[in-house]
Chain A
Amino acid sequence: MNELTVIVNGASRQVPAPATARRLLEHLELDPRGVVVEINQRIIRRPQLDDAHLAEGDRIEIVHFVGGG
């Protein structure tokens, strides 16, 4: 199986290729409704998760809300 290496939240990860932002969330078992994804500092809106294809070396941030003031 083909794999891609991407940086997710600062750590290198192998993900099955071809990959999209939605596939990545599924791979990581994350509910898209609770997180926001950014690829190379570009925010991926939820309806676009399927269209956002990942490339080798992409820097991906996956964020959510935590407790804070």
Chain B
Amino acid sequence: MTSTAQPPRVELDQPLTIGGQQFTSRLLVGTGKYRTSAEMLATLESSGAEVVTVAVRRVDLDRSNEESLLHVLDPDRWFLLANTAGCYSAAEAVRYARLAREAGFNDFVKLEVIGDKDTLLPDVEGLLEATKTLAAEGFVVLAYTNDDLITALKLEDAGAAAVMPLASPIGSGLGLLSPYGIRTIKQRLAVPVIVDAGVGTASDACLTMEQGVDGILMNTALAEADHPPAMGHAMRHAVAAGRLAYLAGRMPRREIAVPSSPGSGMLDEQSS
């Protein structure tokens, strides 16, 4: 009898769950800075993302050539995650979050309280205050923060549904500056850890996922690529590869070589 053995199915992973909502893709993407709407849509598609971030801004009342994002992005197709980008105080961020929720899609908010214009690093005091306020109002808060463990723990304690430490500053493309910091946050928090900001290319995304985090949110790495849809495709695979490599468990690092081929059976060997 011939055996038709199937290779074992590797199903190590679970869906990403944030605030009770399940997502298949661990890559979340922004919608800013694309050259055209068509290019943005093609990139969202190729990235395989389900969650896409959007910003809240004034309607341009002299909208000569402006198109509302909702005319481009089908809210039934994409999970819209509103951000509070550009907010520099807890009160301002809370105001933007409430406006975003009133748009009527979901209770999720990617909470940003920025502390400095040059680095766009978070103001952690304002962030904690806004997290408490919004969590108490029933928001599912995804808090953009730095790679500091203590702040991450406090955010979780304040009611954040996910914590989003940066790989490096927003839009910098510097990649993962503190693998240790990110790894430590992931090891200590019960809520999902989504690395947000700083990823520049596929290897950055893969390395970040290999730290064990639950997902990555990126925007500029896609929008500013020479070919955004191709980069979306690359990032989709990088995130999946990094995730699977983490789950598979890497081999130990060694300071000396260990041959992969048998040491015995070489020609001219003398049998004893």
Chain A residues in contact with chain B, CB under 8 A? 8-11, 28, 30, 34-36, 38, 41, 43, 45-46, 61-69
Residue on A nearest B73 in the bound complex, by CB = A65
- 49-83 of chain B: CB within 8 A of chain A: 53-59, 61, 68-71, 73, 80, 82-83
Q: Please state if A38 and B99 are interface contacts (CB–CB under 8 Å).
A: yes
User: Known contacts being A11-B61, A64-B57, A66-B54, is A34 close to B70, with CB within 8 Å?
Assistant: yes
Residue of A46, A61, A68 near B30 (CB, 8 A) is A68
A62-B59, A63-B56, A63-B58 as given contacts; A68 in contact with B68, CB under 8 Å:
no
A33–B85 alpha-carbon span in the complex (Å)? 23
Interface centre among A38, A61, A67 (most CB of B within 10 A): A67
Q: Which residue of B lies closest to A8 (CB)?
A: B61
Does B146 interact with chain A (Cβ within 8 Å)?
Answer: no
| Interface membership of B137, Cβ < 8 A | no
- Is A64 a contact of B69 with CB atoms below 8 Å? yes
User: Which of B2-10, B18-26, B32-40, B256-264 lies on the face that meets chain A?
Assistant: B32-40
Main secondary structure of the interface of B (DSSP, over half): mixed
For chain B, which range describes its interface: under 10, 10 to 19, 20 to 34, or 35 or more residues? 35 or more
Bound complex: CA A68 to CA B120 (Å): 14
Structural contact, A9 and B99, CB atoms closer than 8 A: no
- For the complex of A and B, the 10 pairs showing the least CB-CB separation, nearest first, are A68-B55, A69-B30, A69-B219, A67-B31, A65-B54, A67-B32, A68-B32, A9-B58, A36-B102, A66-B57
CB-based nearest A residue for B71? A34
**A43: nearest residue on chain B (CB-CB)?**
B102
The answer to whether A10 touches B58, judged by C-beta atoms less than 8 angstroms apart, is yes
Residues of B contacting A66 with CB < 8 Å?
Answer: 54-57, 69
Shortest Cβ distance from residue A13 to the other chain B in the assembled complex, whole angstroms: 8
Residues of B within 8 A of A41 (CB): 95
Q: Does B104 contact A (CB under 8 A)?
A: yes
